[in-house]
Structure 1
């Protein structure tokens, strides 16, 4: 799942010693992973995670947002632009898109 996230998200490994905050277990990151698991058809996902994924999608649609990430500041919801297309996150221009339809579907909204 994490291989579909196009950013180098801060993890707990090494950040505690540096006095920094990790981002991989923040609520927006958890919502993104729940959404992707749902889109990939993961049958082991909990009902709570399914609800979280639905709420995440509803928020992005209703408020016309995408999830963005900055390694220093963490995750943020940003207004959707034309360049964001139907992605649930702001895909970095220098990162290749997922190479399979299944993985691409995991990071996009259906029209």
Structure 2
């Protein structure tokens, strides 16, 4: 892998990165193509503000809360519970996870299997709350007013179904 200072030179221009994303490549695929980590690609995309200006990433499109314009977006996205949820969805979408992401997913699933779901609360941000019957197999508390659609399948813990 390239050293941190070399990443800007290893990755293509901002325009080329946008073209690769538009062509359907994800961060992991771009990282492999240029011999850097997925995190390096993500950091670069955040640095050039691709995610703020462009469409939502496939993972963000599955998560029922839009925090892209939230005033505390950085704090929220750094919470271990949110990282665990993102990793969980990325894994279900077939993406390869880093070792850190795998640890986040394990911790996330431990809480889910202890009878909790993840919710976005005013104040603390993401928090685990006790599962209710209305949550079904979901790993999150679905927000009121947000229609349930096909993305809910990626947010179900099918292994939990087997435990019942």
Structure-1-length-normalised TM-score: 0.75
CA RMSD of aligned residues (A): 2.4
- Kindly indicate whether the alpha-carbon contact (under 8 Å) linking 1:11 and 1:23 is maintained by their aligned counterparts in 2: no
Q: Which is higher, the Rg of structure 1 or of structure 2?
A: 2
Q: Which residue does 1:2 correspond to in 2?
A: 60
Matches within 5 A, 1:40-79: 40-43=93-96, 45-61=97-113, 63-79=114-130
4+ runs deviating over 6 angstroms = none
For 1:9-66, what per-residue CA distance to the aligned partner results, in whole angstroms no more than 9, with x for missing partners? 2667xx48xxx974122211111101111111113x21331232123112211x2000
Say which structure, 1 or 2, has more relative contact order (CA 8 Å, 6+ apart): 1
Q: Unmatched 5+ residue regions in structure 2?
A: 1-58
Q: Unmatched 5+ residue regions in structure 1?
A: none
Give 1 or 2: higher helix fraction: 2
How many residue pairs are counted as aligned between the two chains?
A: 101
